[in-house]
Amino acid sequence: MRRSAAPSQLQGNPLKKLKFIPPARSNPSPDEGITKMSPDVKLIEVVGSQNTFLQLKSNPRKCNLILPTEGSAREINHGCNYSEKHCSEASVTATLDLPHTVHSAPKEITVSKGQEEEEPDSLVKYFSVVWCKASKKKHKKWEGDAVLIVKGKSFTLKDLEGKDIGRGMAYKLKELEKIEEGHRVMIGGKEVEVMGIISPDDFNSGRCFHLGRGSPAISSSSQAAKKCFSNPFKSVCKPSSKENRLGGFQDCKPRHDPHAPNSLVMSRPDNNHQWTFNKKGFPVVDVVIDPHLVYHLRPHQKEGIMFLYECVMGMRVNGRCGAILADEMGLGKTLQCISLIWTLQCQGPYGGMPVVKKTLIVTPGSLVNNWRKEFQKWLGSERIKIFPVDQDHKVEEFTRSPFYSVLIISYEMLLRSLDQIKNVKFGLLICDEGHRLKNSAIKTTAALISLSCEKRVILTGTPVQNDLQEFFALIDFVNPGILGSLSFYRKVYEEPIIISRQPSASEEEKKLGEKRAVELTCLTGLFILRRTQEVINKYLPPKIENVVFCRPGALQIELYRKLLNSQAVRFCLQGLLGNSPHLICIGALKKLCNHPCLLFNSIKEKECSSTWDGKEEKSLYEGLVDVFPADYNPLMFTEEESGKLQVLLKLLAVIHELRPTEKVVLVSNYTQTLDILQEVCKRHRYTYTRLDGQTPVSQRQQIVDSFNSKYSSDFIFLLSSKAGGVGLNLIGGSHLILYDIDWNPATDIQAMSRVWRDGQKNPVHIYRLLTTGTIEEKIYQRQISKQDLSGAVVDLTKTSEHIQFSVEELKNLFTLHESSHCVTHDLLDCECTGDQDGTGDSLEKFPVSRNCQLGAHHQKSNSLKPLSMSQLKQWKHFSGDHLNLTDPFLERIRENVSFFFQNITNQSTAII
Ligand SMILES: Nc1ncnc2c1ncn2[C@@H]1O[C@H](COP(=O)(O)OP(=O)(O)OP(=O)(O)O)[C@@H](O)[C@H]1O
Ligand SMILES: [Mg+2]
């Protein structure tokens, strides 16, 4: 007797479609097996003769998953070891096995009447099943695959989206224990046939949900991939005749010598790949990266190119051609992509035919010209014809001309020119700073998806795993459907992972969440690659990072006290956060820290504004104007009014004096603050240039290039990091000053990595200015202590509006610590905290402690991860009164500084 096939089992046979086969056709009618049914829950055991089950073999070295497709089981191979590291012992190889088991005759299982049986808590079994509504119809169809969880005397049925679709309780334990493959049970009005046993590991990892699922997206993409591969051959090779195949193409040679020393040869396609993509039987030819490029490539870039090649060729996840290159900032993602494009547009593994004819690069407007420059830098202008879209070069020109093979366009322009772009068939799509596609609902994502290009690469220097839903959107963009539907993903991954991270999570929930997280990383690790800054450290000059705590000016302190005493702040502290008045208070305090005149401007603006309706805001500013001198003119602001500004000016003066040829990047997140800084430059006759959100996109690269040029006379680059800093190379500057701090460490890290990157020739000095004892210190502490607690990564879009504050936290935020040299240091629990009275912490006075003072030889981990409190403690630190400051720059600014933290990276690296 043949048993009905479950949808999940058809995956092993490439010829069968996923289809539910009526149980009645191959099995005795379930009704025959039911002798007695309880009205609520019924459990029936029937004969199953031939069975299929999923067998999961532990294999710590491989993480192979079979994803169901419309026709075939798809195997995902790690191939290279970058992704293997993501797999823990939970990694398994899933294979289909077809054991032949014969079961006993049907037997009724009944609901337990009392507590006569002990229910062992630990006994949980998982089964893959198929189900349909219970009915007496002869010809019924299974409605879907599901997972049956039997725990003690109860069981739960979950569909493959992870949703509960049935539950039953209080069964006879002994009878439940007997459930095995081939049995049929009734549960919550559903008839269920057990198809296989699922191991706890497979359930915990969530893999069982994948294994039983037919994903249309997988099959459709594989089909499209086939198309995409066949095109170049058709048009270029014309292998239609037998002579062609047997004659000319036998001689196909690699474009570059794969045996030459230092040659970089891409992986050869395996048999499966050839079977799918080389139907015409072209000879397999080595794809070799142009030696001209290889000469320049760093080792991590060579690996990155291999990875990208394998991904887009569908060699890492069969039928999937997407990749996310998430290397930290400055690692040369652009060069890796240029190498990939150049290779795919000239070569291919089958008959040597190019895999891609045209490539589309979508990038933020400010980087269009950077891409052009990078192409020019690495490939010159003759090898490849690129077409950057700008005011003078419209998309039509590209679409009309067969001459160009790479279109570089901004996200904004892409939306405007979508109709024309749709007319071009692109073989490869690269989305630079692609974390913006994390929302699948936004127009840009939809537009890019509509281009139906299968080979998609996202480039991002920003960690992508911070928000599980955004993570899904990025994954789903590059490899559509690989994680199933959003609702499936939520049930199987997001919910268990989030629940497991809550303090109230049970041990079981924690375990489940961890396993699912491991599984998710394992699956997505196949096509996400992230390397940290460490890999290029040895090519970079030293970096001297300073956190400088600046004493606030007298006017600042007075205004600060007044703000903290305002009714608005008092409301916040009483927990009355209705209209988010705390955000207004925080904003006012931050402005004040930058310069009191910014606060003055806000007060005056609000006074004049007709929308002066926010009660809280009114109460916040009440009486503040009186604190300013009667004739206060914000345009005539003085430097003494702001502690940070005073320090900044001293710093600029000393840099100018001691390093007259070096340049400074001065960063703020606020345009108004940049205005003040610009005014200061004018007053002191410092030459400057400026890039912020208002700078026309067409001018941005020119501004950057001119600053980076050694002939430039600009001393200062005023940069609004949020508005325009992403992806910029500002290696012309070797000093970077962060004038204000953002809630999100990623914003600050973005800014800091503009100068310390490949190509920088001078030692880099970074100064992060914070006003002592104020909200700026609190934000800094939050940045680093959050990191300590959760290890969570953050991204650029999170602002204070996304942050939830408890009243306790607000109390802390709204406190001014007037007597402390450095509240951050006070919190570190460092042994050198003895001196709190401001009368001179000095290095000599600090007790000898490895924690406190590791000296200049200490090298901290150099990844661009936000710093943690414990790491900060390892930094060199000393008060501004310290007698013997060896750093000539710090020496000159100490007067207004209460405390310093300093860390030197790469002190001994030779500059290459
Ligand atoms: N192998 C190399 N040798 C020398 N310079 C390199 C090399 N690779 C990249 N660079 C240079 O390093 C700088 C940074 O590269 P790139 O802009 O591609 O970084 P990125 O990874 O895109 O960083 P971000 O995330 O900030 O955009 C560029 O000026 C680039 O020309
Ligand atoms: Mg970049």
pLDDT tens string 2-16: 334 433 333 333 333
496 alpha carbon – ligand 2 mean position (Å): 34
| Residue range 895-902: mean pLDDT, rounded | 92
Closest ligand to C-alpha of residue 293 is 1
Q: Is the CB of 741 under 6 A from ligand 1?
A: no
Weakest mean pLDDT among 14-23, 452-461, 765-774, 861-870: 14-23
Q: Whose CA is nearest to atom 3 of ligand 1?
A: 296
Q: Whose CA is nearest to atom 18 of ligand 1?
A: 332
Atom of ligand 1 nearest to the CA of 297: 1
pTM, to two decimals: 0.67
Q: Is the CB of 705 under 6 A from ligand 1?
A: no
Q: Is the CB of 296 under 6 A from ligand 1?
A: yes
C-alpha neighbours within 13 Å on the C-beta side of residue 75: 17
Share of the chain above pLDDT 90, in %: 44
Q: Using an 8 Å Cβ cutoff, are 864 and 331 in contact?
A: no
Residue 111 pLDDT class (50, 70, 90 cuts): low
The pLDDT assigned to 845 comes to 33
525 alpha carbon – ligand 1 mean position (Å): 23
Phi, psi (deg, nearest 5) at residue 815 = -125, 135
Weakest mean pLDDT among 60-64, 504-508, 652-656: 60-64
What CA–CA distance (Å, rounded) separates 437 from 795?
Answer: 13
371 alpha carbon – ligand 2 mean position (Å): 9
| Residue range 254-259: mean pLDDT, rounded | 94
216-324+334-431: which CATH topology?
Rossmann fold (3.40.50)
Q: Where are the domains of the chain?
A: 7-211, 216-324+334-431, 540-548+642-905, 553-636
Residue 119 pLDDT class (50, 70, 90 cuts): low
Report which of 443, 540, 468 is spatially closest to residue 734, judged by C-alpha positions: 540
Q: Whose CA is nearest to atom 5 of ligand 1?
A: 758
- Contacts of range 830-838, beta carbons closer than 8 Å, 24 or more positions apart: 830/873, 830/877, 832/877, 835/879, 838/881, 838/898
Mean pLDDT of the chain: 76
102 alpha carbon – ligand 2 mean position (Å): 61
The pLDDT assigned to 578 comes to 64
113 alpha carbon – ligand 2 mean position (Å): 67
| Residue range 522-526: mean pLDDT, rounded | 90
Q: Using an 8 Å Cβ cutoff, are 228 and 454 in contact?
A: yes
Site to probe by mutation for ligand 1, drawn from 538, 757, 761 as the one with most ligand atoms within 8 Å of Cβ, is 757
Residue 523 has pLDDT above 80, yes or no: yes
Atom of ligand 1 nearest to the CA of 759: 5
What CA–CA distance (Å, rounded) separates 78 from 321?
Answer: 14
The pLDDT assigned to 134 comes to 79
Site to probe by mutation for ligand 1, drawn from 294, 729, 755 as the one with most ligand atoms within 8 Å of Cβ, is 729
CA dihedral 380, 383, 384, 385 (to 10 degrees): 80
Q: Is the CB of 435 under 6 A from ligand 1?
A: no
Tell me whether strands 43-45 and 107-109 are parallel, antiparallel or unpaired: antiparallel
> What separation in angstroms does the CA of 623 have from each of 557, 559, 801, 895?
15, 10, 27, 32
Greater model confidence, 138 or 567:
567
Residue 262 has pLDDT above 70, yes or no: yes
Residue 753 pLDDT class (50, 70, 90 cuts): confident
Atom of ligand 1 nearest to the CA of 754: 26
Q: Is the CB of 659 under 6 A from ligand 1?
A: no
Closest ligand to C-alpha of residue 432 is 2
Greater model confidence, 724 or 4:
724
What CA–CA distance (Å, rounded) separates 837 from 819?
Answer: 7
Ordered DSSP codes for 716-785: EEEEEHHHHTTT---TT--EEEE-S--SSHHHHHHHHTTTSSTT--SPEEEEEEEETTSHHHHHHHHHHH
Atom of ligand 1 nearest to the CA of 296: 1
| Residue range 181-190: mean pLDDT, rounded | 74
Weakest mean pLDDT among 211-220, 779-788, 868-877: 211-220
Q: Using an 8 Å Cβ cutoff, are 405 and 384 in contact?
A: yes
300 alpha carbon – ligand 2 mean position (Å): 15
The pLDDT assigned to 912 comes to 40
Greater model confidence, 654 or 88:
654
Atom of ligand 1 nearest to the CA of 331: 21
For residue range 622-674, what is the model confidence (pLDDT) as tens digits? Answer: 889 999 999 999 999 999 999 999 999 999 999 999 999 999 999 999 999 99
Is 596 in a helix, a strand, or coil? Answer: helix
Phi, psi (deg, nearest 5) at residue 521 = -65, -40
Residue 45 has pLDDT above 60, yes or no: no
What CA–CA distance (Å, rounded) separates 512 from 499?
Answer: 9
480 alpha carbon – ligand 2 mean position (Å): 24
387 alpha carbon – ligand 1 mean position (Å): 20
Q: Which residues pair with 65 in a beta bridge?
A: 76
| Residue range 590-595: mean pLDDT, rounded | 97
Q: Is the CB of 327 under 6 A from ligand 1?
A: yes
The pLDDT assigned to 131 comes to 81
| Residue range 239-244: mean pLDDT, rounded | 43
For residue range 755-788, what is the model confidence (pLDDT) as tens digits? Answer: 998 889 999 999 999 999 999 999 998 887 654 3
Q: Is the CB of 432 under 6 A from ligand 1?
A: no
The pLDDT assigned to 19 comes to 30
Q: Is the CB of 373 under 6 A from ligand 1?
A: no
The pLDDT assigned to 138 comes to 62
Closest ligand to C-alpha of residue 339 is 1
Atom of ligand 1 nearest to the CA of 332: 18
Q: Is the CB of 302 under 6 A from ligand 1?
A: no
The order of strands in the sheet holding 456-459 is 386-388, 406-410, 359-363, 428-431, 456-459, 322-325, 528-529
| Residue range 197-201: mean pLDDT, rounded | 78
The pLDDT assigned to 803 comes to 63
The pLDDT assigned to 731 comes to 94
| Residue range 140-164: mean pLDDT, rounded | 80
ipTM confidence score: 0.99
What CA–CA distance (Å, rounded) separates 343 from 290?
Answer: 7
Greater model confidence, 258 or 117:
258
Residue 73 has pLDDT above 60, yes or no: no
Q: Is the CB of 329 under 6 A from ligand 1?
A: yes
Is 170 in a helix, a strand, or coil? Answer: coil
Greater model confidence, 414 or 120:
414
For residue range 348-397, what is the model confidence (pLDDT) as tens digits? Answer: 999 999 999 999 999 998 899 999 999 999 999 888 999 999 888 999 99
The pLDDT assigned to 615 comes to 65
What CA–CA distance (Å, rounded) separates 365 from 412?
Answer: 7
CA dihedral 220, 222, 224, 226 (to 10 degrees): -150
The pLDDT assigned to 78 comes to 36
3.40.50.300, 3.20.20.70, 3.40.1190.10, 1.20.1050.10: which CATH number matches 540-548+642-905? 3.40.50.300
**Angle value at C-alpha 38, between 36 and 42, nearest 5 degrees:** 85
The answer to whether domain 216-324+334-431 and domain 540-548+642-905 are alike in fold is yes
Greater model confidence, 336 or 116:
336
The pLDDT assigned to 439 comes to 78
Q: Quick one: CATH architecture of 553-636?
A: Up-down Bundle (1.20)
Ordered DSSP codes for 3-51: PPPPGGGGGG-TT----PPPHHHHS--HHHH-S---SS--EEE----S-
Weakest mean pLDDT among 80-89, 126-135, 732-741: 80-89
What CA–CA distance (Å, rounded) separates 826 from 613?
Answer: 41
| Residue range 561-578: mean pLDDT, rounded | 84
Weakest mean pLDDT among 315-324, 393-402, 838-847: 838-847
The pLDDT assigned to 55 comes to 25
- Contacts of range 69-73, beta carbons closer than 8 Å, 24 or more positions apart: 69/11, 69/214, 69/215, 69/218, 69/219, 69/222, 69/319, 70/17, 70/18, 70/214, 70/216, 70/218, 70/219, 71/14, 71/15, 71/16, 71/17, 71/219, 72/11, 72/13, 72/14, 73/11, 73/12, 73/14
Atom of ligand 1 nearest to the CA of 462: 25
